[in-house]
Amino acid sequence: MCRWLAYSGSPVSVHDLLYKPENSLVVQGQHSRLGAETTNGDGFGIGWYGFGETPGVFHSIEPAWNDRNLRDISAQIESPLVFAHIRASSGTPIQQTNCHPFRHGRRLWMHNGLIREFHAVKRDLVLEVDPALYPEIEGSTDSEVLFFLALTFGLEDDPPGAVARAVGLVEETGRRYGVEHPIQMTVATTDGANVWAFRYSSEGASRSLFYSTDVSTLRHQYPDNPVLHGLSDESRLVVSEPLGDLAGAWNEVPESSWGVIREGQDELHHFVPRPPSA
Amino acid sequence: MCRWLAYSGSPVSVHDLLYKPENSLVVQGQHSRLGAETTNGDGFGIGWYGFGETPGVFHSIEPAWNDRNLRDISAQIESPLVFAHIRASSGTPIQQTNCHPFRHGRRLWMHNGLIREFHAVKRDLVLEVDPALYPEIEGSTDSEVLFFLALTFGLEDDPPGAVARAVGLVEETGRRYGVEHPIQMTVATTDGANVWAFRYSSEGASRSLFYSTDVSTLRHQYPDNPVLHGLSDESRLVVSEPLGDLAGAWNEVPESSWGVIREGQDELHHFVPRPPSA
Amino acid sequence: MCRWLAYSGSPVSVHDLLYKPENSLVVQGQHSRLGAETTNGDGFGIGWYGFGETPGVFHSIEPAWNDRNLRDISAQIESPLVFAHIRASSGTPIQQTNCHPFRHGRRLWMHNGLIREFHAVKRDLVLEVDPALYPEIEGSTDSEVLFFLALTFGLEDDPPGAVARAVGLVEETGRRYGVEHPIQMTVATTDGANVWAFRYSSEGASRSLFYSTDVSTLRHQYPDNPVLHGLSDESRLVVSEPLGDLAGAWNEVPESSWGVIREGQDELHHFVPRPPSA
Amino acid sequence: MCRWLAYSGSPVSVHDLLYKPENSLVVQGQHSRLGAETTNGDGFGIGWYGFGETPGVFHSIEPAWNDRNLRDISAQIESPLVFAHIRASSGTPIQQTNCHPFRHGRRLWMHNGLIREFHAVKRDLVLEVDPALYPEIEGSTDSEVLFFLALTFGLEDDPPGAVARAVGLVEETGRRYGVEHPIQMTVATTDGANVWAFRYSSEGASRSLFYSTDVSTLRHQYPDNPVLHGLSDESRLVVSEPLGDLAGAWNEVPESSWGVIREGQDELHHFVPRPPSA
């Protein structure tokens, strides 16, 4: 439904990140190779950490490939942690409040996929959002509701646990309405230091998700590639689809799993939703 | 907060309605005389009855005075029943789904004013919306929630009663949260045949609202005014502020009242909210 | 580069024209079958004849498949002569003044293709535009300049001759700058009564163009197709690509030719540019 | 017609510059005190120097007071040289290519005022633009044409001389068409190091323009004002109207004059247009 990328590492030019790769996110807007849709032209957004506590976000309803502001603004941003997302709407309106990444305080969230039969289950799900958080919901997407459910269930303290509970609730609610496979998702979320990524779907056939190989390994493999020398060893990308064809550079995130990218050792685990009734 | 007009009568050019009067709605966008704000540039919308059961709507996030499409499209529409609204946001985002008039089936709804402390009371109000209607809420304004409350309370069958109950609920809810004057409003709603207009505020000092004098009376008064000869006797306007200075042409809608414009005799009544606890 | 359709015949719902066919223009926005690009998401426009002398136009920078106003407004328009265009920019900005159809007085104009090396030849071409017309140029596209050249060379009186001279000038100018194949085009233009269509390219390999078969013939062929019974015998479509798979319904406009659709006998001729030096 | 500000000095938050002052540029969008119009809601733009040779620009067709991206992006930019502009169109379309500041290479340009009877004189003026620069003109405003005339006449090497020649040409051309007072302007332009500001009008009654008093002087005057302690001695603002009421903080730029702000001594001179025939 959408395409996204998350970058963490040495500060990079957001422009280089978005426009330079052969199969860059901007290229994927018109010619996604692995997406459910080849076109992802229903708005876009970027989020990044820079000045102040709150990350910057820029949302637009134009296709990313057209947006001159994106080209210009991204060239003026260098950041060690960047989220970028291009949207293919599953029906909700094209408006800035429906563009990812969504932000709450210092947190960002973006999602590819959908909550099935969202129209039917929306009210029940929204009722589970913490009343103190409820008025912060600004748009009308399933993705933002999923974010607010995760916030309700403790995203600040235990992201994998909070997402497991949010997904468990979505599945249990959907099934109550007769939805066979209530959720399809890849999700990235960050607190400005760590990036958590999730790949899961009720049907066990999730949207594609990849993470980049350790830069030091790649540098050994490609000693003459100048791009790789500008990056710290810890730099890492998580992407809906590979940004290019460099052999060995990309690893698929396994079905039903979550991982965390952070200073020190990254981790990869099995993901199991936690339904409220459990 | 906003400015609106409702027209019912012989088919008119929407372009003439919006642009020709001396103090037209488009002029009011930059120079409102009686509004809470002189500028109403936060998007606009029109709704009209033409082909098919569903009225047409056109919503834009640009100021009305700039919008070339409005100029062009309105020149291609003649309609016997037109709603038009220019917005001055009280905080919610500028997006098409927040532009009036709101539509549900054959009904239109527009509002000038606000639900005070909407952030605090929103969840409680939304919970009162009929669950079958809830997923149809598309935007994030207080005005749309008020519309859905009215729909929940029977707007289809008894508009004055439904609005009285919706306003009663808003007041009772607001006061529970310590809001002294929970609502301020002028509202217009229509089913495509009749137009109901409401002027009310908890503090008894409501936004301005006017209705036009009977055309046959005006024609007697101004036998040489050509505009008046193109209109049927039943043609009537309800507006946030007079569209011009023709003496005798405009009557203030009294404080705390509602009226209906329709074929046959128009009516004007006292408006009393009906709180749920009553 | 773009996709367009021109309709002339019994009044039709613009909504039906744009959304109902299997391979409708709106579908072509994301999945063009025969276009140079599969995505045509860089804005769109419609033009139609209705009230008054001047045709209505509606231009938007959003992709057509997203635009809720298009869906709504088109459902409120019935017209005997409709132009519609979805854009894939060849580099010029996405803004309403660059959206087709362009309008001058009662005339509309739309174009698929490009003037090659437009950056290099633009000034020379613009200098040939009638100084009285020059200030009416509002956007920055090659397509609009081509329109104003045709207007300069007599589009009002002799459309095929004027277009032949405009194209001749573009070719002669381009070649002076070393451009091998200066123009690629399908063009439609109308005065509100007749529709002229052109298919031509300097390299003799022009973008696809089709016209619909005579409705009475189709009706004989498909006596049970209800759509065909709603249309007058004279109804005709010219389109960048067929709107569906009905066998026998579409004929390719031959390479290097122009035709006119009008009351009475339609015509189809060879198209030969007329360079100024000739 | 418009309002603008130019800042040069110690790096500042663009957000603070745009939103914090009592009569900030964003406030002036709805309530300009000294402007020809109280509303300046026809788009806006900012330009700033940061990464790379080319300054960043962000242009939007929304009113500045509405734009959430402006609020967010500006909070992520600190820059020693910032231009900001809010537009009140004198008739040309609201589109990003008509938003100031205009950019050419490392230069920025913004303008408040107008070329009178631009429709009549536009072609003659555009013909004087260097043919090598001509294709870079992207929008349709008088302000951009004035910029390109200044570039043609040597803005890179001698800004005051180039502007004098551009204005001289505009006046001579306008008078040829019977325009009594061909130009009204305040202009700011920069090469990333120096800022030149101009105040001039053919009628000798130019739009307001002010520059800030030397910061060290202000600091003596207001030893307790914390804002003044964050700024370097060389920090300077040039603005269409004062951003606040601090006595002694603002000096009017005299009628018919130009000044330059730069490291070392600032300068202020009489401005005299240089007509081509002179």
How far is it, in rounded angstroms, from Cα D166 to Cα D148?
Answer: 9
Burial letters for C41-64: b for 16+ Cβ neighbours within 10 Å, e otherwise? Answer: bbbbbbbbbbeeebbbbbbbbbbb
**Interface contact A93-B123, CB threshold 8 A:** no
Please give the residue of chain C at the shortest CA–CA distance from D127: C127
A90 has a pLDDT exceeding 80: no
C230 has a pLDDT exceeding 80: no
Query: With contacts defined as CB-CB under 8 Å, which chain D residues touch C137?
Result: 140
- Residue B116: closest CA among B170, B176, B166: B170
CA distances C205 to B53, C163, C177, C180, D167, Å, are 47, 18, 21, 13, 49
D39 has a pLDDT exceeding 90: no
pLDDT score recorded for residue D196: 98
Give ∠ CA C61-C65-C68 in degrees, rounded to 5: 75
Nearest to B63 among D37, D63, D93 (CB): D63
Query: With contacts defined as CB-CB under 8 Å, which chain D residues touch B36?
Result: none
- Residue B17: closest CA among B25, B252, B248, B28: B25
Confidence of residue C151 (pLDDT cuts 50, 70, 90): very high
pLDDT score recorded for residue A217: 79
Residue B52, both tokens: 């098919």
How far is it, in rounded angstroms, from Cα D11 to Cα D92?
Answer: 34
- Over residues C45-63, the pLDDT tens digits come to 999 999 999 999 999 999 9
Chain C: nearest CA to B86, how far in angstroms? 17
Residue B155, both tokens: 């707007």
B9 has a pLDDT exceeding 80: yes
CA distances D232 to B59, C49, D80, D213, Å, are 48, 63, 11, 13
Rg (CA), chain A: 18
Confidence of residue A136 (pLDDT cuts 50, 70, 90): very high
pLDDT score recorded for residue D1: 64
Highest mean pLDDT among A22-26, A34-38, B260-264, C96-100: C96-100
**Interface contact B41-D61, CB threshold 8 A:** no
C182 and C125 Cβ atoms separated by less than 8 Å: no
Per DSSP, D96 falls in state G
In percent, the amount of chain B with pLDDT more than 70 equals 99
User: In A83-214, where does DSSP find H-type helix?
Assistant: 118-127, 142-152, 159-176
The average confidence (pLDDT) of chain A is: 93
State the DSSP string of D186-253.
Answer: EEEEE-SS-EEEEEEETTS-PPP-EEEPPHHHHHHH-TT-HHHHSS-TT-EEEESS-SS--TTSEEEP
How far is it, in rounded angstroms, from Cα A262 to Cα A91?
Answer: 35
How far is it, in rounded angstroms, from Cα D242 to Cα D219?
Answer: 18
- Residue B37: closest CA among B56, B60, B76, B63: B63
Chain A: nearest CA to B134, how far in angstroms? 7
What type of residue sits at position A125?
L
Please give the residue of chain D at the shortest CA–CA distance from B90: D66
A40 and A87 Cβ atoms separated by less than 8 Å: yes
pLDDT score recorded for residue D264: 79
Chain D: nearest CA to A19, how far in angstroms? 16
| Average pLDDT over every residue of D30-36 | 80
- At A43, which helix (H) or strand (E)? none
| Average pLDDT over every residue of C186-205 | 97
D15 has a pLDDT exceeding 70: yes
Nearest to B140 among A119, A131, A138 (CB): A138
Confidence of residue B24 (pLDDT cuts 50, 70, 90): confident
User: In chain D, where does DSSP find H-type helix?
Assistant: 14-19, 25-31, 68-74, 118-127, 142-152, 159-176, 215-221, 226-229
Nearest to A59 among D58, D69, D76 (CB): D69
| Average pLDDT over every residue of B98-126 | 97
**How many C-alpha atoms does C201 have within 13 Å on its Cβ side?**
19
Lowest mean pLDDT among B99-108, D49-58, D126-135, D211-220: D211-220
- Over residues D199-253, the pLDDT tens digits come to 999 999 999 999 998 888 777 777 777 767 777 888 899 999 988 887 788 999 9
Per DSSP, C274 falls in state -
In percent, the amount of chain C with pLDDT more than 90 equals 75
Lowest mean pLDDT among B77-86, C17-26, D170-179: C17-26
**Interface contact B134-A127, CB threshold 8 A:** no
Please give the residue of chain A at the shortest CA–CA distance from B129: A123
Confidence of residue B134 (pLDDT cuts 50, 70, 90): very high
ipTM: 0.92
Assign A7 to helix, strand or coil. strand
- Residue D81: closest CA among D5, D152, D30, D156: D5
B216 has a pLDDT exceeding 90: no
In Å, how far from its chain's centre is CA D74? 18
How far is it, in rounded angstroms, from Cα C25 to Cα C71?
Answer: 13
Residue B191, both tokens: 């089913």
In percent, the amount of chain A with pLDDT more than 70 equals 99
- Residue A273: closest CA among A217, A219, A203: A203
B220 has a pLDDT exceeding 90: no
Burial letters for C208-232: b for 16+ Cβ neighbours within 10 Å, e otherwise? Answer: bbbbbbebeebeeebeeeeebeebe
pLDDT score recorded for residue C203: 97
Q: Which residues of B touch C (CB under 8 A)?
A: 13, 48, 50-52, 54, 56-60, 68-69, 72-73, 75-78, 96
D60 and D44 Cβ atoms separated by less than 8 Å: yes
Residue D170, both tokens: 């505009």
B1 has a pLDDT exceeding 70: no
Query: With contacts defined as CB-CB under 8 Å, which chain A residues touch B93?
Result: 95-97, 138
A1 has a pLDDT exceeding 70: no
**Interface contact A38-C38, CB threshold 8 A:** yes
CA distances B150 to B126, B128, B129, B235, D271, Å, are 12, 10, 9, 27, 64
Nearest to B123 among A93, A97, A134 (CB): A134
**Interface contact B134-A122, CB threshold 8 A:** yes
Please give the residue of chain C at the shortest CA–CA distance from B74: C56
Chain B: nearest CA to A205, how far in angstroms? 28
CB pairs under 8 A between A and B: 37
Chains that touch A (3 or more CB pairs under 8 A): B, C, D
CB pairs under 8 A between B and C: 50
Residue D43, both tokens: 């788009």
Cβ neighbours for C112, distance < 8 A, ≥ 6 positions apart? C1, C2, C3, C4, C85, C185, C186, C187, C207, C240
C243 and C5 Cβ atoms separated by less than 8 Å: yes
D22 and D16 Cβ atoms separated by less than 8 Å: no
Chain D: nearest CA to A245, how far in angstroms? 29
B209 and B197 Cβ atoms separated by less than 8 Å: yes
B85 and B17 Cβ atoms separated by less than 8 Å: no
How far is it, in rounded angstroms, from Cα A221 to Cα A216?
Answer: 9
How far is it, in rounded angstroms, from Cα D122 to Cα D92?
Answer: 12
| Cα end-to-end span (Å), chain B | 30
Chain C: nearest CA to A255, how far in angstroms? 30
CA distances C238 to C8, C85, C157, C215, Å, are 9, 12, 22, 13
Q: How many helices (H) and strands (E) does chain D have?
A: 8, 13
Strand-pair partners of C79: C12
**Interface contact C96-D95, CB threshold 8 A:** yes
Chain B: nearest CA to A264, how far in angstroms? 41
State the helix-helix crossing angle for D142-152 and D118-127, rounded to 10 degrees: 30
Nearest to A69 among D54, D59, D77 (CB): D59
Q: How many CB atoms lie within 10 A of CB A227?
A: 15
Chain A: nearest CA to C22, how far in angstroms? 18
Query: With contacts defined as CB-CB under 8 Å, which chain C residues touch D137?
Result: 140
pLDDT score recorded for residue C1: 63
Nearest to A94 among C38, C66, C89 (CB): C66
**How many C-alpha atoms does D72 have within 13 Å on its Cβ side?**
20
pLDDT score recorded for residue D220: 77
In percent, the amount of chain C with pLDDT more than 70 equals 99
**Interface contact D72-A58, CB threshold 8 A:** yes
State the DSSP string of chain B.
Answer: --EEEEEEEEEEEHHHHHHSSTT-HHHHHHH-SSSSSS---S-EEEEE--SSSSPEEEEESS-GGG-HHHHHHHTT-EEEEEEEEE---SSS--SGGGPSSEEETTEEEEEEEEETTHHHHHHHHHHTS-TTTGGG--S--HHHHHHHHHHHTTTTT-HHHHHHHHHHHHHHHHHHTT-SS-EEEEEEEE-SS-EEEEEEETTS-PPP-EEEPPHHHHHHH-TT-HHHHSS-TT-EEEESS-SS--TTSEEEPPSSEEEEE-SS--EEEE-----TT-
**The residue to which tokens 């409350």 are assigned:** B149
pLDDT score recorded for residue D164: 98
B125 has a pLDDT exceeding 90: yes
How far is it, in rounded angstroms, from Cα C79 to Cα C73?
Answer: 13
φ/ψ of residue C258, rounded to 5: -135, 155
**Interface contact A61-C63, CB threshold 8 A:** no
D261 and D195 Cβ atoms separated by less than 8 Å: yes
Per DSSP, A55 falls in state P
How far is it, in rounded angstroms, from Cα C28 to Cα C17?
Answer: 13
**Interface contact A72-D50, CB threshold 8 A:** no
Query: With contacts defined as CB-CB under 8 Å, which chain B residues touch D89?
Result: 66
Please give the residue of chain D at the shortest CA–CA distance from B88: D66
In Å, how far from its chain's centre is CA C240? 8
A109 and A147 Cβ atoms separated by less than 8 Å: yes
pLDDT score recorded for residue C221: 78
Query: With contacts defined as CB-CB under 8 Å, which chain B residues touch A103?
Result: none
Nearest to A135 among B96, B123, B139 (CB): B123
- Over residues A230-254, the pLDDT tens digits come to 778 888 999 999 888 877 889 999 9
Query: With contacts defined as CB-CB under 8 Å, which chain A residues touch D66?
Result: none
D100 has a pLDDT exceeding 80: yes
Residue C182, both tokens: 């200066």
Strand-pair partners of A60: A44
